[in-house]
Amino acid sequence: MATIHTLTQHHSSSLLDAVGRTPLLALPRLGAGLPPGVSLYAKAEWFNPSGSVKDRPAAGILRAALESGALRPGVTLLDSTSGNMGIAYATLGASLGIPVRLALPASASPERFAMLGALGAQLERSDALEGSDGAILLAQQIAAHEGAAIYYADQYNNPANWRAHYLGTGPEIWQQTRSQVTHFVAGLGTSGTLMGAGRYLRERNQSVRIIAFQPDGPFHGLEGLKHMPSAIRPGIYDPNFADETLEISTEDAQAMTQRLAREEGLFVGVSSGAAAAAALRVAARLQAGRVVTVFPDGGLKYVSQSLWERA
C-alpha cells in the first residue's frame, strides 16, 4: 500500500479530485402545478465517489488534517456518523492509505454496515435508541481514551465541514443556475451544507432566501437529519443564520421519496425526499423564482427498508 505521504503528493491520482461538480437536476413533473415562473432543482449528490453529499466535507476534513500534519502515518481517523459520512471517510481514507474508525448507531441500515465493512473501516456500534447523539458521545469517549493514536475529525464542530460547501456546493449552484437561484433549501444534520453553501450564496446575492428544514420531532425516521431543539447542537451551526426553518414529517418525506422514483425516475434516500418536500413547500408560495435543494444520496443503501416493501 502506498503511504499517506506518497499519496498526498499526487492528489490528481486520488479520489479526492472526483468529489463535487455534481449535476443540478430540474424536477419538472414534481413542480408541474407551480406557476410558470417558478422552477425546482436538486443537486444530485449520489454522483460523488462514495455516493453521497458527505464526500464533500470528508474530503475537506481529510485535506485540512493532512496539510496540518494531524493525520500522519500511524494515526487513525475517528469520527461519529449516521452512515454516509462514515462511508465517505472509509472510501477516501482507503484511497489515501488512512485507517478509519467509526462510531455509528446500531440501527444504521444493513447496507451501510456492509459497505463500511467492505471498505475496511473499524466499527464501534452505539445504542440504537440514542441515534446520532449516542454515536457522538461514543466517539468522544474513544478519542479521550486513545489519545495521540487518534485524529478525532469531529465533523459536527470542524470548520472544514462547512468550508467544503462554501468552496464547492455554493459556487456550483451559483454557476449552474447562472446566478439566478432565489431560494436555497437544505436539511439540518451537521448543518454544514446549509452554513457553507448558504454563506456563499448570500455573499453573492443578499436577496437569496436561505431555508433550513429538520424533522418535526425528536423521534423520526429521517436518517442523517437532526431535530435541533432536542439534539446535541453542532458547533458549526448558527440557529439565526437561516431565514426560516421548516419541519418535515417522516411520512411526508417517505411519500415524496416514492413520488421522486415514480414521477422523476430518481431513486433516492428518504432525506432527499424530505428535501424535495421542503423545496416544494417553498416553491408553492411563489409566483416567480428558482428554488434549489440538495439530494444527499441515492436509494441503494435503503432497499431493505419497509418504505419500498410498501411501494
Is 125 a member of any domain? yes
pLDDT bucket at 308, cuts 50 / 70 / 90: confident
Is 161 a member of any domain? no
Q: What is the mean pLDDT of residues 63-70?
A: 97
- Choosing from 152, 175, 191, the residue where a domain stops is 152
- Give the strand pairing for 183-187 and 288-295: parallel
Same domain? For 170 and 297 the reply is: yes
Distances (CA, A) of 98 to 15, 73, 115, 143, 208: 13, 8, 17, 17, 39
Q: Which residues constitute the domain of residue 106?
A: 55-152
Question: Residues with Cβ < 8 Å from 143, sequence gap 6 or more?
Answer: 78, 150, 152
Same domain? For 85 and 226 the reply is: no
Is 4 a member of any domain? no
Phi, psi torsion values for 204, nearest 5 degrees:
-75, -35
- Choosing from 119, 152, 185, the residue where a domain stops is 152
Tell me: pLDDT of 311 over 80. Answer: no
Same domain? For 205 and 294 the reply is: yes
Is 158 a member of any domain? no
Grid cell in block for residue 164? 467544503
Q: Residue 110: what pLDDT?
A: 87
Tell me: pLDDT of 8 over 50. Answer: no
Q: What is the mean pLDDT of residues 34-45?
A: 97
- For the chain, percent of residues with pLDDT exceeding 90: 86
- Give the strand pairing for 76-80 and 122-126: unpaired
Max Cα–Cα distance, the chain, nearest Å: 59
Q: How confident is the prediction for the chain on average, in pLDDT?
A: 93
Structural domain tally of the chain?
2
Q: What is the mean pLDDT of residues 11-19?
A: 77
Q: Residue 131: what pLDDT?
A: 87
Tens of pLDDT, residues 67-126: 999 999 999 999 999 899 999 999 999 999 999 999 999 988 888 899 999 999 999 999
Grid cell in block for residue 73? 502515518
Same domain? For 42 and 171 the reply is: yes
Same domain? For 259 and 207 the reply is: yes
Tens of pLDDT, residues 250-262: 999 999 999 999 9
Same domain? For 24 and 140 the reply is: no
Same domain? For 140 and 209 the reply is: no
pLDDT bucket at 302, cuts 50 / 70 / 90: confident
- For the chain, percent of residues with pLDDT exceeding 70: 95
Same domain? For 129 and 189 the reply is: no
Is 118 a member of any domain? yes
Q: What is the mean pLDDT of residues 126-132?
A: 91
Is 1 a member of any domain? no
Q: What is the mean pLDDT of residues 173-188?
A: 98
pLDDT bucket at 14, cuts 50 / 70 / 90: confident
Query: Looking at this protein, which amino acid is placed at residue 237?
Result: Y
Same domain? For 261 and 112 the reply is: no
Same domain? For 208 and 121 the reply is: no
Grid cell in block for residue 286? 411563489
Same domain? For 77 and 112 the reply is: yes
Tens of pLDDT, residues 276-285: 999 999 999 9
pLDDT bucket at 13, cuts 50 / 70 / 90: low
Angle between the 250-259 and 270-283 helix axes, to the nearest 10 degrees? 90
CATH of the domain at 205: 3.40.50.1100
Tell me: pLDDT of 9 over 50. Answer: no
Is 25 a member of any domain? yes
Same domain? For 38 and 61 the reply is: no
Instruction: Kindly list the catalytic residues.
Output: 54, 271
DSSP 66-109: HHHTSS-TT-EEEEE-SSHHHHHHHHHHHHHT--EEEEEETTS-
- Choosing from 152, 183, 211, the residue where a domain stops is 152
Is 291 a member of any domain? yes
Tell me: pLDDT of 246 over 60. Answer: yes
